[in-house]
Amino acid sequence: MIFLVIIFNKEFIMSYITSIRKNTFLFLLTIGIINTVLAIIVFLYIQNKQNELLYYSKIDIAKTEFKETNKKINSEITHYKLVLNTIKDNKDLKRFLNGEKNIIKYLSEDLSDFVKANGNIFQLRFINKDGNEIIRIDKENGIIKIAEKLQNKAKRYYFKKTMNLKEGEFYISNFDLNIEHGKIEVPFKPTIRISTPIYRNNSFEGIIIINFLANDLIDSIKDKESFDVYFMDNKNNFLLHPDENKSWSTQRGTNYKVKEEIPNIYKLIENENTKVSDKKLLYYINSIDITDNKFYIIYSIKEQLYDAYIEEATRNIILFFVVIFLFSIPFVFIGAYFQSIRMEILDRLINNIPFPICLKDKNGVFLLVNESLIKLYGCTSKKQLIGKKSYEFTHRSLPYTSKEKDNDVLKKQKIKFVDTITLKNNKKLYYDTRIIKISFFGLFNKTYILGIAIDITAMKTLNEQLQKKVDEELEKRLEAERILAQKAKLAEMGNMIDNIIHQWKQPLSIIKVTSQALEMNLEMKNLSEEQREYYIKTIIENVDFMSDTANDFRSFLSPDKIKSEFTIKDCTNKILKILFLRFRKQKVEVINNVEEDIRIYGYKSELCQVLLNIFNNALDEFNEKNKTEDSSIKISTYKKEGLIVIEIEDTAGGIKEEYINKIFEDRFTTRSKEGTGIGLTISKRIIQESFNGTIKVENKNKGACFIIKLPQEVNTLEN
């Protein structure tokens, strides 16, 4: 029945439907954003992988093309070498070299036939040993001409290099543009020159040189289906470039540097013979070492191939994520449904918690509240709080209304404090309030403030009552301790007075006898000046002794106001002086092994009080046992492991084992009468609290030994 009532509650159903719609929208939005982000990430990853795959898929093709290019260049060069060898074997050339100058006409015709038979040869020359052109055959637009204006080529590089070759060797120039009369021919004629020296009877007679157009060769090298082709010359300039404006940059003086377009060109050259020459997966490189200077052919995969790969990958990625998005929609509705249930459970759960709870955003706006908080704020429904800033209620001094505390928790993650609320009837409520910063780092970085306020009014009242009782009991105990301390002081004063009496007995007796002798001699008028001075001096000395004794006792009993530096020797000397007559009366030997230079920083009178108490206890023990033979008290001091150690050892028989661990307890005494049991308790407190030290007792040899240890660093005056 209860379940049915809940289900058909109109307010619940409307809230539930609204929650589902809201959660569905949020889920769809989230999945859409996630899909988009993942699509971008996958796209970038695949793009990178596509580049890599494409590069590696073409690497074997590039190597094959490099081999074909080498083969074509070598084949072309070999062909023209054969042409030159054939010309060298020409009978008319040999007759000319043998001195038959009239044969030059026939030789020119022979050379013209060679130029005519080879379509790419546009110039064939015979240059004598002095560098003078003897025969020059030119071909332009298919028309062959025997040049009449001949030039001296002795200073040209190809002549100089060829004349230094041996018989049967060939010079092959770099790719170049043909130059006539100091200017580059237009249109450009990409040219390779091949020459060989002519020897007769081991004597250099001149050279035969062919200029052939390399257009067909270059076109066959550049015409690659998958690659853009670059040539780099020995000056690291572009010899050939897909952009014609950048080709022949050295010859034209434009100096388009390869490094500006291919920054890692030197690394490519360095890694030329490795499996993957370009770590950036962009270029392939191969050197050609056939011509005068080594040059490099560089391949890069054509941009349209990349574009086609990326376009296909993009289509596949979009299709994949659209399918994923559509497939996820049913799960979104299911997730929204279960999320709504969870939210409803959470809402009911926090409503049943008897403490005020809220969730706010970082700006202090209420997002979630429970019934306890609604009642505390004097509201009737959640709508009156949710969506409003908590700081609007600051004037009422309610929990979670302090902006300063919210700012504080955003910095510190968590804070804890007690809120005090005064009701209209002046009754006070106390809350143990905890505010926690909650951060979610996802697609949307969100920061929330969670507040939990636990009502501790009853506990606070009980604690105050308990604290009051504790304070009262503590005051009683302190008063009892003050009384005990006073009794101990009075007992100590009683001992002091007893010692004063012992100290004053002898001088009083001397003063009395001296006064009587003085009076008698005055009556008999038998007093000389020397006797008078002697009697007066004796009386004054004994009065001074009594005055000094009184001053010693007074300074001993007066508590020090400030700490000072003193030696333990000062303390023991003063005590031995006070107890001198008692030691002598009880026939107790004092062995004083106190070092002169051991100094302590603290209250001198308190340490003297502790030592005096131990001495008096020992003397009382001797007196109670009527021990007069072999009676002694030895006091020693030394330093050990950073401690100042004071040992007071007697021969009074020691302490019973069952008492040895109790003698420092309050009101414990081993005496049969007159003992208060507080002297050693106060002595222990003084050593621990005033000197940060320890005191213990143990039986040793024929009596008890008190061992006091004081930290040297703490109790030594610092300069």
- If you write DSSP's letter for every residue of 286-335 in order, what string do you get? EEE-SSSS-EEEEEEE-HHHHHHHHHHHHHHHHHHHHHHHHHHHHHHHHH
Bridge-based pairing state of the strands 357-361 and 414-422: unpaired
Are 287 and 27 within 8 A, CB to CB? no
Strands 632-640 and 190-200: unpaired
499 C-beta neighbours (distance < 10 Å), count = 20
Q: What is the SS3 assignment for 642?
A: coil
Name the amino acid, one letter, at 419.
D
> For 679-704, b where at least 16 C-beta lie within 10 A, e where not — what string?
bbbbbbbbbeebbebebebeeeeebb
Q: What are phi and psi of 504, to 5 degrees?
A: -90, -15
Buried b (16+ CB within 10 A) or exposed e, 566-591: bbbbebbebbbebbebbbeebebebe
- Per the CB < 8 A criterion, the answer to whether 237 and 257 are in contact is yes
Cα–Cα dist 369/396, whole Å: 18
- What's the Cα-to-Cα distance from 689 to each of 65, 686, 710, rounded to whole Å? 96, 5, 11
Assess contact for 139 and 145: CB atoms under 8 A: yes
Cβ burial 21-55 (10 Å sphere, 16+ → b, else e): eebbeebbeebeebbeeebeebbeebbeebbeebb
Do the bridges between strand 694-700 and strand 589-593 make them parallel or antiparallel, or are there none, so unpaired? unpaired
Alpha-carbon distances of 318 from 35, 54, 328, rounded to whole Å? 10, 21, 15
Q: Please check whether residue 386 is in contact with residue 367, taking contact to mean a CB–CB distance below 8 angstroms.
A: yes
Provide the 3-class DSSP secondary structure of residue 514: helix
Three-state DSSP state, 413: coil
Show the tokens assigned to 138.
């030119």
Mean pLDDT by 10 residues, the chain (719 residues): 39 48 63 72 70 77 84 88 90 88 87 87 92 90 88 90 92 81 77 92 92 83 82 82 83 82 82 67 80 81 77 77 74 66 74 84 86 83 84 77 85 85 78 84 71 84 86 82 67 64 66 77 79 79 69 59 83 82 84 90 84 86 78 92 92 86 75 58 85 91 91 58
Phi and psi at 239, nearest 5°, equal: -90, -45
Task: Find the helix packing angle between 679-691 and 604-624, rounded to 10°.
Answer: 150
Eight-state DSSP code of residue 170: -
Instruction: List CB contacts of 401: < 8 A, sequence separation 6 or more.
Output: 390, 391, 393, 394
In order of their start, the domains of the chain are: 13-78+223-328 (3.30.450.20), 90-214 (3.30.450.20), 353-455 (3.30.450.20), 465-558 (1.10.287), 560-719 (3.30.565.10)
| CB atoms closer than 10 angstroms to residue 509 | 11
239 Cβ neighbours under 8 A, 6+ residues apart: 175, 231, 232, 233, 247, 248, 249, 250, 295
Ranges of beta strands (E only) in 322-427 are 357-361, 366-369, 414-422
- CA angle at residue 646 from 710 to 717, to 5 degrees? 40
